[in-house]
Amino acid sequence: MKPTVFIDRKLPREVEDYIAEHCIIDKWEGNESIPRQLLFEKLANTNGLLTAGTAIDAELLERAPHLKVVSSMSVGYNHFDLAAMKAKGIMGTNTPHVLNDTVADLALALMLGAARRVAELDRYVKDGSWKKGDGTKLFGIDVHHAKLGIIGMGRIGEAVARRARFGFDMEVSYYNRSRKPEAEEKLGVRYSELNELLAASDFVVMLAPLTAETNKLIGKKEFEMMKPSSIFINISRGQTVDEQALVEALQAGTIAAAGLDVYEKEPIETNHPFLQMANVLTLPHIGSATTQTRNDMAMLAAQNLVSALTGQTPPNLVDELSV
């Protein structure tokens, strides 16, 4: 008998066909997230779940007595309660590697966009405000040759550092749980303690995965250490930053601008202060969102799912932080 799987988001046809060769599929086809009670019902007889951000907690696991694996179509797995999964012998998998360059590209887009005010000035042209002699009021901040500080030097951090060093001649330092001598050698980046990095950088890019240690890692005190001319980029998880402190730092001019792809609550509330702030570039969590990369992530998630359900060790079993 083939194992049963539930897929809670849309997948490319060929990925679904691949899963169907090995498993009996049930799936959610709505545009919104599946209601939690309905997901519980679906999981009652399911061996595998393919998801992305759905919280995999003790309550859900209780409702899924036959579950063997949760395959997430994401590199981050902060939505997994790993202790609860382990206690029930349920495997968790993620989709690393295939998204590194795509997410790194967006980090650079946020840096350039915030520094050169791309979205703000696009609105300015389109609403007919552009006049001859606008001059200094359109000025921005240089990215090339500036100092970049990367918080979280994993694979994506390295891809950002490579672009910054060799594409934009930036001086790059990083802060990480452990030092990365190979990256230092290969990319010419320098390790720095967090406070030193914050004080010295023109751009601070947050790339650390969300864990108990990185929860609200950057708050009021940290923004106060940064230069008033500095730009803060977040492309990891909203919860790595105290969002209220970020709003206040931007309003008070403690830092100059921010480029954000992630937020404490997603989608962001329609009355959020960021939406009224010209110095904040707001993107809707699209770090890995290109057609090619999302297809690659979907196929990798499918391979992890199928291998876990056919007696193999999935290639991307999560047992340690690996963003």
Q: Interface residues with ligand 8YV (CB under 6 A)? A: 52-53, 73-76, 99, 287-288
**Other CB atoms within 10 Å distance of the CB of residue 153:** 26
In the complex, residue closest to ligand 8YV by CB = 76
Q: Which is nearer to ligand 8YV, 53 or 219 (CB)?
A: 53
Structure-token pair, residue 152: 């979280």
Tell me if 317 sits within 8 A of 71, measured CB to CB.
no
For 91, the token pair is 């495997």
Bridge partners (DSSP) listed for residue 218: 241
C-beta of 81: minimal distance to ligand 8YV in Å?
Answer: 16
Active site residues: 237, 266, 285
Minimum CB separation of residue 260 from ligand 8YV in Å reads 13
State which residue, 6 or 168, has the beta carbon closest to ligand 8YV. 6
Q: Which is nearer to ligand 8YV, 73 or 170 (CB)?
A: 73
Least spacing, CB of residue 152 vs ligand 8YV, in Å: 12
Q: How far is the CB of 127 from ligand 8YV (least distance, A)?
A: 32
- Single out the residue of 152, 119, 118 nearest to residue 237, CA to CA: 152
Element (H, E) at 134: none
d(CA 315, CA 157): 22
Comparing CB distances to ligand 8YV, the nearer of 8 and 202 is 8
Contact yes or no for 268/274 (Cβ under 8 A): yes
Tell me how far the alpha carbon of residue 63 is from its chain's centroid: 28
